[in-house]
Chain A
Amino acid sequence: MIKLEICQEALQECLKTGGDFAEIFAENTTKNVIEMTSGKVNNASTINNYGVAIRILKGYQQVSGYTNDFSRESIIKLAKDLSSSLNGEDLGIKVELKEEKPNKIVNSIRKPSSLSNEEKVVYMQKVYSAIKDYSSEIAQVMCYLTDEEQHVLVANSQGKYIEDDRSHLRISANAVASFNGEMQTASDSIGANCGYELLDHADLEGFAKEIASAAVTMVHADEMVGGVYDVVIHNAFGGVLLHEACVHGLEATSVAKGASVFCGKLGQKIASDIVTAIDDGTRENQWGSLNMDDEGNPTQKNVLIENGILKSYLVDYRNSRKMNHPITGSSRRQNYRFSPTSRMTNTFFAPGNDKFEDIIKNTKFGLFAKKMGGGSVNPATGEFNFAVSEGYMIEDGKITKPVRGATLVGSGAQVLMNVDMIGDNLDFGHGMCGSASGSIPTDVGQPTIRVKNMVVGGRGAK
């Protein structure tokens, strides 16, 4: 994308005023979005992101900027403009770039650019029909298909010059069920960092039917009655609990500034003994996986919590300088416009020994959160919330009636201590995570777990 010699010259220029590290990140990304409403395609858009970002570090201080012009003149000018805002002496660091190749963890066979829009719409049609045909109560179906091919280049003053290709593909659907003037929605998605072979092998019909079934079930459900409950959170997207309640608080973004409730707790017990939590960017072709992070470092499997003990934070290069903690291959950015920082990849609770049936059987009275919606957290207080999009009551060890409108709230430090059963059925859900460096694909995952004594909100009357 940009010749090695130009990168080398620009990086050298960056270091003339006292900077001790400089980095170039360039990308050429093409994203296609197709939207189908009521079985008709109503939008097809293409977005091309094309830019080169430079940042210079002097200790912890960072100056950054970007341009959409890839010419030598433009890149050197950007380097000069940025370095002029530092006013120190050249430290004499000599930049010598050497080309590297990234690990091969993700692989795209049927690349998005090799398919016509017409071929892509066929997958959407399948999902639409399966949802629509499920029940006469299905009032509306929306289906979205997005694919993104990203070519990135990272070069830095420590000699790195590395390029990589990513191919993010995701199909999602939203069903609206209607009954007696009431409307309820359900949605889900399938996504991975690979090509369209993903959709060739996926059970699109089964995926669609589950969405339809959830919407129809919820339109007949009673309102959740608020209070304190034992909550059984089902596998896959249920992992959003770990993502929100805990791991955002382990990101260097908040830890380096001393703004997380988990600061200074390495080696200490922060969760019940049965909890092991992992962030693993090396899972083959998974939605949150990458060959390399956005600083050009290989992604890795990071054990964050092991048997309840905090083992690691998620750390990018700049924050590693402040935290005295090794980098974890976790530096990510939505695109060149954002500065990279520590983020999650595929984050999950490791499987335990309990059987799903036994977890339900062991729960006298509680809430079964089968599907979770999104949520959010404030890392400084650890207070989090998330919505239950498909819920059921558990009475005398049995799943009984469906309930809607349940919201779970709590504090991260407490909820991890209250996990008392972990199943053996690990699975993943595919989300977009929004934070300091923009919106990025991340997987959340877990087996079915049980959490004691959670505050559950709802509109139902006692």
Chain B
Amino acid sequence: MASPAIATLDVLARDVTGQKKFRLKGIPTQASVGELVRSALARMGLASRDHAGQELEYRARLEREGRQLHGSERVGDALRRDDEIVLTPRIHAG
């Protein structure tokens, strides 16, 4: 018996300066936004840790609504196909 197809969607993601833009394809709609963000970082070549090796906090800003998504939101609830999100870190200068 074939396994049921997993619902997915595609979104656009960019970094804070708009110099890295990616189409993220086939994101499981059941995943959380937090999982999406953490998975997107490595694929987009963005740092996931700070200079001391601690995990960096990132938020995904949904351009359509102009709001920061919460990490626990479900991809299928928060995002629509071809939405654009901006991955924004809380990052320190010294």
Tell me whether A and B are bound partners: no
Where the two chains meet, the residues of B that have a C-beta atom closer than 8 Å to any C-beta of A are none
Where the two chains meet, the residues of A that have a C-beta atom closer than 8 Å to any C-beta of B are none
